[in-house]
Amino acid sequence: MTEILAYGFMQKALAAGILVSITCSVISFFVLVNRLSFIGVGISHAAFGGVAIGILFGIDPTLSAVIFSVLTAWMIGIVSRRGRLNEDTTIGIFYAAAMALGIVIIGLSRGYTVDLFGYLFGNILAVTSTDLWIVAALSLFVLGTVFYFFKELLYISFDEESAQVNGVPVAFLYYYLLTLMAVTIVISMKVVGIILVSALLVIPAAAAYEVSSHYKSVLIVSVIVGLVSALGGLLVSYRFNTASGATIVLLAAAVFLLLFTIRSLRTGPKKDRVPVHGPSDPQG
């Protein structure tokens, strides 16, 4: 461990892994309880279109990806909540359109570089000091606002109708949650890549759900799973020279399967899975 920390690039990678894993794990909790996992897939692939736009116009791909991903997330929310189509159909439309736009733009751009593969598949070992500052700033923004609106987000997650009756701005918080998902996905691109980032929005909370069904426990265990996956995956990828992003996701999946197996052996199969329990009074 001391040998690894002697390298500057590993120090940056570990710091980025910690920030991204905590942020993804917290958002993962809300993705789980609001059943937004497929939206996460759609937004993550929309980020590819944003990166392509940045490459075409010579602007920071992270900035263009944030803007494009947020706009796509809002469009998915608007069409799915106000239109006649089911949410999964809406996501499928925007998911395919954003990917197609990215492919067309990359084909038109003469500035096509190998860096694109870093965004697609992630390369945490290539995180620069600038990348780390961006990740830190955006992570603090996401985590800060999540905990500022935590009670309200929790309320709409478990009882949206009651929240609306009690004057909670349900629509605003819904779109704000989509915005936080989009920002989280973009800051995770350099760590696990656009293709795999949606896994970090699902697996930590899903693994935690195998341990407990109370929201506090699920949230805490989700963060622990995220940290173990990110740091453990980074160390394994360094030792065995494997793709860092894929190794992190595989380790997260292995943790999920381990917790699932332990829970199954202890309690047996459950036909009716107990949902995540929220607080008795989300406003209190």
Q: What pLDDT does residue 41 have?
A: 83
3-state secondary structure of 281: coil
Q: What pLDDT does residue 128 have?
A: 86
In degrees rounded to 5, what are phi and psi of residue 277?
-90, 130
User: What span, in angstroms and rounded, lies between the C-alpha atoms of 60 and 44?
Assistant: 17
Q: What pLDDT does residue 91 have?
A: 83
Whether 194 and 47 have beta carbons less than 8 Å apart is answered as yes
User: What span, in angstroms and rounded, lies between the C-alpha atoms of 248 and 226?
Assistant: 9
Helix axes 129-148, 61-82, angle to 10 degrees: 30
Q: What pLDDT does residue 273 have?
A: 56
Q: What is the pLDDT of residues 14-41, one digit of tens each?
A: 999 999 999 999 999 999 998 888 888 8
Judge if pTM exceeds 0.85. Answer: yes
Q: What pLDDT does residue 272 have?
A: 52
Q: Considering only CA atoms, which of 194, 200, 185, 186 is closest in space to residue 233?
A: 200
- The radius of gyration computed from the CA coordinates of the chain, to the nearest angstrom, equals 19
Whether 201 and 28 have beta carbons less than 8 Å apart is answered as yes
Q: Considering only CA atoms, which of 135, 120, 136, 140 is closest in space to residue 55?
A: 120
Q: What pLDDT does residue 119 have?
A: 80
Q: What pLDDT does residue 25 have?
A: 94
CATH code at 2-267: 1.10.3470.10
Q: Which residues of the chain have pLDDT under 50?
A: 284
User: What span, in angstroms and rounded, lies between the C-alpha atoms of 177 and 131?
Assistant: 24
Q: What pLDDT does residue 140 have?
A: 95
Query: Could you tell me the end-to-end alpha-carbon distance of the chain, in angstroms, rounded to an integer?
Result: 44
Whether 201 and 217 have beta carbons less than 8 Å apart is answered as no
The tally of CA atoms less than 13 A away on the side-chain side of residue 157 is 30
Whether 87 and 34 have beta carbons less than 8 Å apart is answered as no
Q: Where are the domains of the chain?
A: 2-267
